Structure 1
Amino acid sequence: MLKIRLLIITIFLGFTFVNAQPLVKVTGTVLDLSNNPLQYVTITVLGQQESTLTAVDGTYTIYARTTSFTLKYNFLGYKPFLLKINEKVAGRITRNVVLVPNINELEQVTITNKQNQLSNTSTINIADLASLPSVSGNFESILKTLPGVSTNNELSSQYSVRGGNFDENLIYVNDIEISRPVLIRNAQQEGLSFINSDFVTRAKFSAGGFEAKYGDKLSSVLDVKYDRPDSNQLVFTGGLLGASLSSKYVANKSFLLLGLRYKNNNNILNKQDNKGSYSPNFGDAQLLYQYNFSNKFNISALGSFNIGQFKLVPEDRETQFGTLETQLRLRVDYTGQEIDSYRTAGGAITASFSPQPNLVVKWISSYFTTRERERFDIEGNYVFDELETGFNSSGFMPVRINRGIGKYLNYARNNLNSTAISTEIKADQSFDNHVFSWGFRLERNKFKDQLSEYHLTDSAGYILPYDSKKFYLEQSINKLNEVNINNYTAYVQDSYSLTDNTDLQVGVRGSFNTLTDQILISPRLLLAYRPPSNNRIWRFTAGVYQQAPTYRSIRAYDGSLNLNQKAQRSYNASAGFDYAFDGLGTRLKFTSEAYYKYNQRFIPYVVDNVRIKYLSSSVAKGHTYGADFSIGGEFVKDLVSYFRLSFMSADQDIIGDSYQKRNSSGQFTTVYPGYLRRPTDQRVNFSVFFQDRLLKSPTYKVHLNMLYGSRLPIGSPLSERYSDDFNIPAYKRVDIGFSKDFLDDIAVRKPKLLDKYFSSFIAYFEVFNLLNINNTVSYLWLKDVDNVQYAIPNYLTGRQFNFKLILKFKNHQ
């Protein structure tokens, strides 16, 4: 431990003697040959981490950490342009650039630019990924700082968007739709998400109102791109929670991305109430290779192999909770173990063909197979006490009364094998001021699911509910399911300009699912108006979103399948306003959007940790409405910070549900509960990602991430009512990270040994859950002999320290 402390002190204090000099700030405008501004031109400083995009008026600002450097301007349809800059002293300079069209890709510029303007998405700042302090380390952690996104679990990569559940979110990597394992029921079982952050060059996220070219889900779209790198590169990241190695190789007509990752969050899990021997090991390998046969034709291959095993031999648990008036304590001694594992393998081949300058056609074929295993046989002997209230100098409170003594047993032997095969064609074509897009997709999903599990509770020698004539098992499941589902989908959309300041996009999706035999038609519209001032934009979206049944949604609590389930349907409308302005000494961007969703038909569910349990035989309707706000900018030069706030209300009415209630005279009456809060009804969400510099040196930085999510409704898993009349407390979390780049170009002197082998050497020291807040993720439900049920909170992770290094090796070619 002493060695670790000395290492940290050496890293963060050993280089304070380094004198820094100001950054070079480059501003300018990017134009085409007709002097029209170009939006979304990517500008990077070669050999450094700095990158930016041009604004709607073609302007840009970027910082370099040396006085001699090269800027690269890259935009689809135009030839890449390299601008060498060699200044004698640091300062501010202006460079205006004119890009020359690439004849073979000229019309693709119109395609891309028009679709970007008419996309109801927000661009994710890729430069923030490494700096964001995150326990999970997955790419999806940055989504939880976006408006409209809510979560109450730092260990999970799953998220809820505007009242939807985790299964309603679409994820694409290079236009390939990605799915996730089914059996995971606790976030600690989650491993590495499919997205490799080292490969991501662009990412967009839509919290609703997305266009027709995206798939048939109800809530959101994450669109990630792995693009051609600028140069050869080898990057190693290592820390207390895992390691990764990524290699990027560029040739004349091809490029290769190869990544290996390993994750082990044993240090985090050991801080939980459940004490025991944790062994969580996760790893993956991912490869992307693309070869350009000509300027018109290329083929790329994406391969992935992702494995994970979570093993737990529990020992004991002690949880103390309650109020000032009533203090409760649960003590549990365990025997048995849990072993959960998954394996996902597969890949995709994409052929891109541009037979004409204004036409781009893609053919994408993919195959993925997943094998999941769930094994646990755990017995817990518990003592449930009520403690004396007040304060005790010894720290140990005496027991006031015993609430229950007993045991519970959890057993499972579950196996799920799933396969997804798909092929699709997508095309974009421009003519006049139109961009016409269409696509067709065939998909086949196979599931073989063997379920065998039960839960037994025994309090003071009585099996609950008590019946002397039979042995009773709660939640006993023994099923074997085999299901094949075929999906056929198609879309068409057109983006065009109504006036110089008004753009319109109209599209429609059609789909057919062999499980439902339904033909689903989903029209969608997006209208954008940009006043001549060019610093603001108004958006309006409306559309129908329909989600065909999946294996998740048709499987009930007991493992039985509802093969008569129909598609879920939602009618969405939203209005947004974006405004860019100068304030607080920098350029700020304010975004806002108000939305309303009428869920005409959806399958109700309950949420247990990260597992969704559908009431597959029920149907519900509901409303969701709210507003999202965000403001961000470089409050500190070269460091982007964001403040986000969301308000939302989501309710549901399960059609035909009712329960019996005894009135004051002792008679039972039937109650129809009507509209109740949805399990994801988190009324308020607030997030801050703020970055600053320390010690009067640009090489030392601090990265602060704060999240707040208000209470979530929850109910007993054995309740006869479909109402959640209990609440999970508000989620509050603060993570902070400190970084130092020892080879920062702005430093006068650098460590010679590091400078010889590395182009970048960055150290991070992070404190997770800085305030050590006990956040509740779920509850353990126990009963006493009077059949009174108690909710014992399962807490998330406590305060934890982490250290990691990101090393970029020099290219000695």
Structure 2
Amino acid sequence: MSVTAQTATITGIVLDEQNTPLTEVNVSIGSGGTFSDANGFYILELIADVETTITFSHLGHKNVVLEKLVLKTNEAFEFNPVMKTDAIQMDGVTVSPTGEKNTDGITTISKDVIRKIPGANAGVENILKLLPGVSSNNELSTQYSVRGGNYDENLVYVNEIEVYRPFLIRSAQQEGLSFVNTDLVSTVKFSPGGFQAKYGDKLSSVLDITYKNPIDIGAQFEASFLGASAALETVSKNKNFTSVSGIRYRDNSLLVNSQQTKTNLNPIFFDAQTFFTYRFSKKFNLNFLGNISLNDYQNEPLSRKTNFGTLNAPKSLLIKYEGRENNKYATELAAVKANYFLDDNTTLKLISSIFHTSEQERSDIIASYELGEVDSNLGSETVGEITSSKGLGSQFNRARNDLDALIFNLEHKGRNIKNQRVLEWGIKYTHEDIRDQLRESEFIDSVGFSIRPPLPEFVNNQPEEPFDSPLEAYESLIAKNLVKTNRFSAFAQFSDRNLWKDHNIYYNFGFRTHYWKVSGQNVLKTAQVVFSPRAQFAIKPNWEKDMLFRFSAGVYHQPPFYRELRDNIGTIQPNVKAQQSIHFVLGNEYSFNLWNRPFSLSTEAYYKKLNNVNTYTIEDVRIRYLANNNAKAYVYGGELRLNGAFVPGTESWVSIGYLKTEENSDNRGYIARPTDQRLKFAILFQDYIPTIPDVKMYLNLVYNTGVPGGSPSYADPYIFQNRLRDYKRADLGISYIFANESKSYPKNHWLNKFKALNVGFEVFNLFNAQNSITNTWVRDVDSKQQFAVPNFLTSRVLNLRINARF
């Protein structure tokens, strides 16, 4: 007769010192055990009524040992260990005073830093812009360029689910909210290039977000002059169900009203998100990510006055507006992710998502302008006013654009870990259904005559000779596109760690392949395929100094998305090839102690060779491709970031970056690309008053040299190579901490209900720097010369902010 032993269960979430869940923690009992999952969750079955010792071990952390644990039959015991960093060498990986060495070139950003650091568009992207290889010259935008790439070349994942942006947004003040809700974030990882094959097919970067899996019920609320947000965390009694949900509302009126254009603005930016996990068993769990976002941007511009030029030749542009614009962007995302733990070594995943966006632009704006010389005599009664007009005219812009897009993804991913060897694979199907209708026109009138397009078929000699002909828009765009794309992609990669002559080495190699087929109404069916090998190597020498060297190389393709298939007149070009970029990245990490505090110095040099380049222009945040593949380009640069506790108990860093990127179209020679941001300097600094440590100060400083300022419509970009002014910005935040994890209060105290409470103020653009993002091109009637009038961004703004967690 056989006897079956009675069992009990221990479960919980493994955390690090920052209360971030740790993945792949080994939970062992004798010869058996399990691993924590991507959310730090583990579950282990024990023999009941028997003393058991459980050991939690993880690379770079001290073991946590739970001794002589005795559980009753069918008892479910919860244990949430906190693992502390251990500065020792373990199993081929050296751990420094600041944590485990980064062998794959991915930067991990603290969620606490993301939530605390001030910014006009605070959040993950606000911190990314302080990294050396990331550039953004627009504080109203959440979009960013990385190492010479454009806004469309960045991958964003939330819990391995790819997320998308709206298509039609052309101005940063129309953007509203980033997809990533920082109240729900657990970990943030970012790679600026040379990333592994498991990440998708883009040219520049990967932002890998993990939403949290809560261990307790909680709530959070934040409010400021820019909007409000709330988040809720729930956990079921048996711990099988967890969820995080958040809603956000944002109003950019405070920032937009600080610009030189006076408007009646009524923007509504709202979104709601939820992420939940249900554990059916210790082998199977299910995740769901849902998002609904509504951007309703209503704007009635009134007037604008911009002074520009030089001290010797000052000029001014005065504009009076009539009309209004109303743009709406509504998006929905639903995704399901199934995780099956086949055994202690193998994890299988199935991910399905559907994204829908419905967007419309409605605009009727008449602008009457006067361009003139300015009285610069300080003693004059008319100082600063226009004394003589160089140009009078009017401009009528009309838009009736509609877009509806549906994107479906179905993906399988797997992972096998054995003796530190990791094999990962995946296959993905994507279907894109785009319905797009563009109707735009721009009429320009100057001193009684209409300016016709500067094309051969519209040659005339106005106003010297009368010209009797129907009015023609200076620029017009009429197109209707119904496009479908089916994609199949797959990847496989292998990673391992070994010892070589007492040196620790790590290597990873893999490949991706991508097949896509474009079809649609009046679109010739085309199919293409690309293959992308990638590899990484890192070595930790057995030196007294704590250093790591790494090198990565690979071929990166970006198969064209809908916007890249559409040329500048709205026609679909289905034969557009995938842009190709060959990456070479060499990096070093050096960890050391300074002033008895931990610091790390990260340096990287990179070179990218680009082929089949699809040239484009950028106006504000709108990208317009030529859909031509007629250029080649290159990018090279170097970066440095010093990170550490400049002030005890805080994290700060200094970043310096340099890059140069140029393109050569049709062998005409190399000119600067729109993202040629040569020099980048940024500081993130945290401090507190020593005698009043609850008064915290957060400061970020950014200096970027100017990017090319673009060119007028129909103009040759090889002629217009002027640059915008340098971008300089400082944002300051000061807050008082009433309650947090280290400050507890008795039950009868009013602060006892708060897990955290802080109140403070922020000053955006502290030094009131005049930054510009684009130029408005205005014609001088007499000389026919066109002047680049800068479009200035926000000035100094004060914001109040309160944050509470229960």
Q: Are the equivalent residues in 1 in contact too, given 2:741–2:755 (CA < 8 A)?
A: no
**Residues 378, 112 of structure 1: CA spacing in aligned structure 2 closer, same or farther, 3 A cutoff?**
farther
Determine helix, strand or coil for the equivalent of 1:499.
strand
**How do 1:628-667 residues align onto structure 2 when only pairs under 5 Å count?**
628-655=639-666
**Residues 744, 565 of structure 1: CA spacing in aligned structure 2 closer, same or farther, 3 A cutoff?**
closer
Determine helix, strand or coil for the equivalent of 1:637.
coil
> 1:599-644 CA distances to partner (integer Å, 9 max, x unpaired)?
0221011110011111113521011000010001111122100100
Determine helix, strand or coil for the equivalent of 1:559.
coil
Aligned to 1:543: 554
2:705 is the counterpart of 1:718: no
Aligned to 1:487: 487
**How do 1:374-413 residues align onto structure 2 when only pairs under 5 Å count?**
374-392=361-379, 394=381, 396-413=383-400
Q: Which amino acid aligns with 1:176?
A: I
Q: Are the equivalent residues in 2 in contact too, given 1:42–1:74 (CA < 8 A)?
A: no
Determine helix, strand or coil for the equivalent of 2:554.
strand
Aligned to 1:15: none
Determine helix, strand or coil for the equivalent of 1:704.
strand
> 1:322-349 CA distances to partner (integer Å, 9 max, x unpaired)?
1111111111111100111100012100
**How do 1:272-421 residues align onto structure 2 when only pairs under 5 Å count?**
272-392=259-379, 394=381, 396-421=383-408
Determine helix, strand or coil for the equivalent of 2:766.
coil
Deviates more, 1:755-764 or 1:473-482: 755-764
Taking the aligned partners of 1:112 and 1:272, their CA distance within structure 2 comes to: 51
CA drift of 1:445 comes to: 0.6
Aligned to 2:71: none
CA drift of 1:733 comes to: 0.2
2:204 is the counterpart of 1:193: no
2:568 is the counterpart of 1:554: no
CA drift of 1:41 comes to: 7.9
Aligned to 1:271: 258
| Alignment length (residue pairs) | 716
Aligned to 2:83: none
Q: Which amino acid aligns with 1:488?
A: F
> 1:147-188 CA distances to partner (integer Å, 9 max, x unpaired)?
200110000000000000000000000000011011111000
Taking the aligned partners of 1:531 and 1:300, their CA distance within structure 2 comes to: 41
Determine helix, strand or coil for the equivalent of 2:291.
strand
Q: Which amino acid aligns with 1:807?
A: A
**How do 1:23-422 residues align onto structure 2 when only pairs under 5 Å count?**
42-44=15-17, 97-98=63-64, 118-251=103-236, 252-392=239-379, 394=381, 396-422=383-409
Deviates more, 1:463-472 or 1:577-586: 463-472
**How do 1:639-788 residues align onto structure 2 when only pairs under 5 Å count?**
639-655=650-666, 672=668, 674-694=669-689, 696-723=691-718, 724-744=720-740, 754-786=750-782, 787-788=784-785
**Residues 110, 357 of structure 1: CA spacing in aligned structure 2 closer, same or farther, 3 A cutoff?**
farther
Taking the aligned partners of 1:634 and 1:289, their CA distance within structure 2 comes to: 35
2:797 is the counterpart of 1:800: yes
Deviates more, 1:117-126 or 1:707-716: 117-126
RMSD between aligned residues: 2.9
> 1:283-321 CA distances to partner (integer Å, 9 max, x unpaired)?
011111211011110011111101111111111111111
Aligned to 2:478: 478
Determine helix, strand or coil for the equivalent of 2:112.
helix
Among candidates 595, 607, 615, match of residue 584 of structure 1: 595
Q: Are the equivalent residues in 2 in contact too, given 1:420–1:445 (CA < 8 A)?
A: yes
CA drift of 1:750 comes to: 8.8
2:790 is the counterpart of 1:790: no
Unaligned runs of 5+ in 1: 1-39, 57-72, 84-94, 103-108, 657-671
Q: Are the equivalent residues in 2 in contact too, given 1:779–1:792 (CA < 8 A)?
A: yes
**Residues 223, 750 of structure 1: CA spacing in aligned structure 2 closer, same or farther, 3 A cutoff?**
same
Taking the aligned partners of 2:247 and 2:802, their CA distance within structure 1 comes to: 16
Q: Are the equivalent residues in 2 in contact too, given 1:207–1:219 (CA < 8 A)?
A: yes
Q: Which amino acid aligns with 1:300?
A: N
Q: Which amino acid aligns with 1:384?
A: L
Determine helix, strand or coil for the equivalent of 2:219.
strand
Unaligned runs of 5+ in 2: 1-12, 26-37, 46-52, 56-60, 68-76, 78-89, 453-459, 519-525
Q: Are the equivalent residues in 1 in contact too, given 2:240–2:278 (CA < 8 A)?
A: yes
> 1:745-768 CA distances to partner (integer Å, 9 max, x unpaired)?
656979965314322111120000
Q: Which amino acid aligns with 1:159?
A: Y
2:619 is the counterpart of 1:616: no
Taking the aligned partners of 1:123 and 1:644, their CA distance within structure 2 comes to: 15
Q: Which amino acid aligns with 1:712?
A: V
Q: Which amino acid aligns with 2:665?
A: I
Taking the aligned partners of 2:162 and 2:241, their CA distance within structure 1 comes to: 24
2:425 is the counterpart of 1:441: no
CA drift of 1:525 comes to: 0.4
Among candidates 611, 614, 623, match of residue 603 of structure 1: 614
CA drift of 1:52 comes to: 9.9
| Percent identity (aligned) | 36
State the TM-score, normalizing by the size of structure 1.
0.84
Q: Are the equivalent residues in 2 in contact too, given 1:743–1:754 (CA < 8 A)?
A: no
Q: Which amino acid aligns with 1:571?
A: I
Taking the aligned partners of 1:726 and 1:567, their CA distance within structure 2 comes to: 30
Taking the aligned partners of 1:158 and 1:800, their CA distance within structure 2 comes to: 21
Taking the aligned partners of 2:93 and 2:556, their CA distance within structure 1 comes to: 24
Q: Are the equivalent residues in 1 in contact too, given 2:115–2:123 (CA < 8 A)?
A: no
> 1:638-682 CA distances to partner (integer Å, 9 max, x unpaired)?
2100100001000000125xxxxxxxxxxxxxxx3x001111000
CA drift of 1:563 comes to: 1.5
> 1:678-698 CA distances to partner (integer Å, 9 max, x unpaired)?
110000011101010026211
Among candidates 509, 516, 533, match of residue 506 of structure 1: 509
Q: Are the equivalent residues in 1 in contact too, given 2:710–2:774 (CA < 8 A)?
A: no
**Residues 82, 370 of structure 1: CA spacing in aligned structure 2 closer, same or farther, 3 A cutoff?**
farther
Taking the aligned partners of 1:111 and 1:267, their CA distance within structure 2 comes to: 53
